[in-house]
Amino acid sequence: MEHQPPPFFKRGPAPLAQLSFYAALSLALIFIDSRFQTLELLRQGMSLFTHPLQQAAHAPADYLQNAGSYFSSISHFQDENSRLKRAQLNGAETLLRTRQLEAENERLRKLLDVKGRQQANGRVAQILYAARDPFSRRVIVDKGQQDKIVAGQPVVDDAGVVGQVTRVFPFVSEITLITDKDQAVPVQIVRNGLRSVVFGLGNGQLELRFMPANADVQKGDLLVTSGLDGIFLPGFPVAKVVQIERDTSYSFARIYCVPLAGVENFGEVMVLDPREPIVLPPQLTHETATTLVKPLAKPGAKKKRLKKE
């Protein structure tokens, strides 16, 4: 007859007994750890193995969260970029206008400074448009008879002579630029004081005429108004010599110049007041008048005097 162990040894402890044992063991371990910190080293060792598992478990959630933030930030940046572009476009006009006004104010300050530098009076005028004749260099300004503008007044800018008033209307005036073919300005070379007349060529350049081929004129010489015409005050910059052609077969040299003023640029000029007429001293006036009214000798008076002698 075969011997068999009792059922207790086959089945082991009862489940309730196992639960009670493990519960008591857990409570004992918790009490001992909380009081003596005996399992701290074990926890640290276990964390070395469980940390990679925790990272791997959180990775999908982190990826999803980062992806959401990425797409959300892209959308936010796109909206902000669009908003900034709209703001830039809206402010572009104001910015360009501000720059233009700053440049215009700077030119106006320079124009007004001409009064102090040259001891000249005048009024600032705005160029409205160019004349309709394509073969002339003339412009129309917004000052006319109502502003006491008269024909012949000189026109300058902050750099030099621009032209001269040639026609006046009630509300506007016509200015002939110094580069016009029909315009001439008496000038003087600053370096040596040599006087001459500069003429417009109609193509934006000037020509210094009636200068001998051996005249002391050099490239880069500065030309200023001489004041001999009674219109322009002396000393206003006019042009600079850029090219000299000397040919011994001709009596005069071909001297080309460029205007110093913004003849074809900008939109503001200063119309100077007419020069006051030169008043001669009373004694000089009397002597001049006596000389002018002195009767001329008759043609036959000298012959008769010779015969008597």
- What pLDDT is attached to residue 308? 47
Contact of 252 with 212, CB cutoff 8 Å: yes
| Contact indicator for 113, 156 with CB cutoff of 8 Å | no
For residues 152 and 223, state if they share a domain. Answer: yes
Contact 147, 162 (CB under 8 A): no
- Which residues on adjacent β-strands are paired with residue 161? 156
Residues 230, 171: one domain? yes
Mark whether 105 and 138 lie in a shared domain. Answer: no
The whole domain housing 78 covers: 48-119
> Do 149 and 109 reside in the same domain of the chain?
no
Question: Is residue 114 in some structural domain?
Answer: yes
Count of residues in the chain: 309
Question: What pLDDT does 173 receive?
Answer: 92
Q: Tokens at residue 50, please?
A: 């469980």
Q: Tell me, yes or no, whether 175 and 196 share the same domain.
A: yes
Same domain, 96 and 137: no
Q: Is residue 82 part of a domain?
A: yes
Number of domains in the chain: 2
Q: Are residues 266 and 131 in the same domain?
A: yes
Looking at the fold, whether 211 and 136 belong to one and the same domain comes out as yes
The verdict on residue 296 lying in a domain is no
Last residue of a domain, which of 91, 119, 147? 119
Q: Are residues 154 and 107 in the same domain?
A: no
* Domain assignment of residue 43, yes or no: no
**Could you tell me if 43 and 34 are in contact, meaning their C-beta atoms sit under 8 angstroms apart?**
no
pLDDT, one tens digit for every residue, the chain (309 residues): 555 655 555 566 777 888 888 888 888 878 777 777 766 777 677 777 777 777 777 777 777 777 777 777 888 888 888 888 777 766 655 655 666 666 667 766 766 666 555 566 788 888 888 877 777 889 999 999 998 999 999 998 888 899 999 999 999 999 999 999 889 999 999 888 899 999 999 888 999 988 888 888 999 999 999 888 888 888 888 999 999 998 877 788 899 999 988 887 767 888 988 877 655 555 544 444 444 444 444 444 444 444 444
**What's 133's domain CATH number?**
2.40.10.340
DSSP secondary structure letters along 134-200? TTS-EEEES--GGGT--TT-EEE-SSSEEEEEEEE-SS-EEEEETTSTT-EEEEEETTT--EEEEEE
Tell whether 146 and 210 lie within a shared domain: yes
Place of tokens 């007349």: 197
Up-side HSE of residue 259: CA atoms within 13 Å toward CB?
Answer: 28
What pLDDT is stored for residue 258 in this prediction?
93
